[in-house]
Copies of this chain bind each other. A is one copy, B any other.
Amino acid sequence: MKTFIKKTSKVKHIVLLVLVLFCATFFRLSAQEMPTLSDGKEIYPGVWRYTIGTPDKITPVSTRGVLPDEKGLSQMASIGRSPVIPSGEITDRGVIISIPLKPDELIYGLGLQMQSFQQRGSKKLLRVNADPTINSGDSHAPVPFYVTTDGYGVLIDNARYMTFYLGNKKRKPAQANQALRTSAMEDGWNALNGPYERLGLGLETEALVEIPHSKGVDVYIFAGPAMKEAIARYNMFSGGGNVPPRWGLGFWYRVHSDYTQEKMLELANEFRSRNIPCDVLGLEPHWQTNSYSSSYVWSKRFPSPEQMLSELKTRNFRVNMWMQAFVHPKSPIYDALLPWSGDYEVWDGIVPDFITPEAKRIFIDYHRKTNVDIGIAGFKADECDNSDFTGYWSFPEMSRFPSGADGEQMHSLFGLRYQDAIMTLFSEKRQRTYNLVRNSGALAAPYPFVLYSDLYDHQTFINSVAQSGFCGLLWTPELRHAVSEEDLLRRLQTVIFSPLAMINAWYLQMPPWKQMDRQLNNQYVVADNSNELEEQCRKWINLRMELIPYLHAAFVKYKQEGIPPFRALIVDFPEEKEALKDLRGQFMMGDHLMVAPVTANGRGVVEKDIYFPRGKWYDFFTGESIEGGRNHRITVPLDRMPVYVKEGALMPLAKVTNSTEDGNSRLLTVRAYGDVKEPFVLYEDDGSWDVPLRKNEITWDTKQKKASLKSTFYKLENTVIIK
């Protein structure tokens, strides 16, 4: 074109210009192509930012509490150019972003999408809502970030309810498609929910994102080369993953909502005397004088919280405290927070605007003084999501907050800013923590918070473990109650292989193994077989204690490299895309364990088809080896679950103790699986804030078939060779 122009006369120049303008206008009108976003800029290695218009003032990035891990990002491979280039347009309705999709490209992410997995072909409205039973994009942790099998990630930095059309919308052509027009099809009823419509596969299409109300937006592109690196870059951009203190990886138990100080102590004693490992006990709403909304004032059920917490500490229990962000007029901080809250109430309480430093400070100072200073180790930040499917209790989207956020933006950011306030409370005390939260969003990786939900379908809970890893989220498939012993054990198995292993017995007076029937349980009627059932449960809880060093190492990798500790298989084995593209019930825990929890089927023994990626795998329980690259039908008795170790792994297992405070929890047995090729990296972590995590390696002497470890923290006791 350039050469051609040089050859032409001025008149021709003008004709050409007119022609070009005409064509440009014509194509714009007919094919509605959007202009490329103007200022793509590589802001970190492999991270590009594109901007259109004037982005909102309130976004996940603009309100972030943790900065990108620049050092970590700088250590990642540099990539020459952005893997995709977004285009966009500002309309009367807001902003539209378009990102091209290759014919065979598959999409994952958009947060904790509990009802779906692969997202290409779908429409997703990223709206914060508890208990999403429909596959519409509603989620208590929607994240405007996705990765594709083409090996890159996209973050739309906006806090509005965006709609993602993922490769399933076609613009109309300038004229009829002749191939379709002349097709021989007779009485065709062709497309309804067919694979083409679902996935938009086989065609060059686009991911379209509509952002309401905004006048501009930043789009961040994260390079791979593969999905795993794209996710890692996103997590490092978020500030790196979080590392729970070792106690956070122990076993958790939440007591009945109406427990008293006395009952708490009784239960703690029972756990210790019966050797049921437990690091954390959880308090539920009634610890305070008012809840729904919250007063944050200890109730008379707890005449001396300080004494209780101190007694529990001597028994190596930490306490996590249920809390809601909505502040009741009875709360001592109500008056101070009133000007720093939204204009609508929730459950008679006000909604603090945690985006303002004032609200955050008032909240932190109060909870430090009344709770954390006397020993509370963390919080369960409940109901910070929205309620379109659960009684409509939350603040309306049209709310106005002092920070300038409206209710829609605040819903997208509320969980994050609430987490940030709690994390800041602990970091100001230079104290590590690990918490629960019911709403999260973009850039969440650095926050030591694990999501949970009132949805209780076991398979959905399993799928969510795999799903959470695409977007910097952690998820616990918590066990509340069970409909049978089998259900209890199967759910417990899933929980053990999750970021936070918890029984949440907030509506049971006794642990579920003492009585499965909820009514009888609350009448303190102990079942005849409670001892046997307790023993079976203890076995799984013990296993959790053994897994802590391994799991802790996976979390350190999350922090240092951005690799999530729990991942869908397609993240680790992208070359097996065909087999793995919709595999949502299996996941990797760390680099070596593949977990495929099963659900109760009423018969105890479950037959399940499990996919094994290429290579050799070992049954974690029996040591039996299995050749990968295909499905195997596995028989799973009730006392086992499908967990497999990748060939070549060294797996450290800790000695079972009643809590991570027990020094014996640092005595290790190492299992060597097959032809070991690399050391296992693990980390000394005494739980303190100041001391950086010290790296240790368990090395393997191939000739002597012997593991060794130099550490003053851990001690290697045994080596077991699995062939």
Contacts and interface: CB of A to CB of B under 8 A. Distances in A.
Contacts of A175: 335, 338
Interface stretch (A99-107, A225-233, A326-334, A660-668): A326-334
19 contacts: A133-B134, A163-B396, A163-B398, A165-B396, A170-B348, A171-B345, A172-B342, A176-B334, A176-B335, A176-B338, A185-B289, A186-B300, A187-B287, A187-B290, A187-B301, A189-B285, A193-B393, A197-B347, A208-B398
Interface in A290-318: 290-293, 299-301
A181 B286 contact: no
Given A187-B258, A344-B171, A122 B180 contact: no
A604 interface: no
B289 A188 contact: yes
B172 A136 contact: no
A189 B93 contact: no
Contact of A391 (B134, B193, B338): B193
Nearest to A348: B180
Interface in A348-403: 348, 350, 387-393, 395-398, 400
Contact of A189 (B186, B187, B292): B292
Contacts of A32: 343, 400
A123 interface: yes
A181 B334 CA distance: 10
Given A93-B398, A121-B392, A175-B338, 5 more contacts: A169-B396, A186-B300, A187-B289, A188-B290, A193-B390
Contacts of A133: 133-134
Nearest to A386: B123
A178 B330 CA distance: 9
8 tightest A-B contacts by CB? A123-B392, A176-B329, A181-B329, A187-B286, A187-B299, A180-B329, A191-B347, A193-B391
Say which size band chain A's interface belongs to: 35 or more
A400 B31 CA distance: 12
A528 interface: no
Nearest to A285: B189
B299 A186 contact: yes
Interface of A: 32, 91-93, 96, 121-123, 125, 133-136, 163, 165, 168-172, 175-178, 180-181, 183, 185-193, 197-198, 208, 210, 212-213, 257-258, 285-293, 299-301, 328-330, 334-335, 338, 341-345, 347-348, 350, 387-393, 395-398, 400, 406, 408
A172 B345 contact: yes
Given A181-B330, A186-B299, A345 B391 contact: no
Contacts of A176: 329, 334-335, 338
A344 B169 CA distance: 7
A147 to B, nearest CB: 20
A287 B400 CA distance: 55
B393 A197 contact: yes
Contacts of A328: 180
A177 B125 CA distance: 37
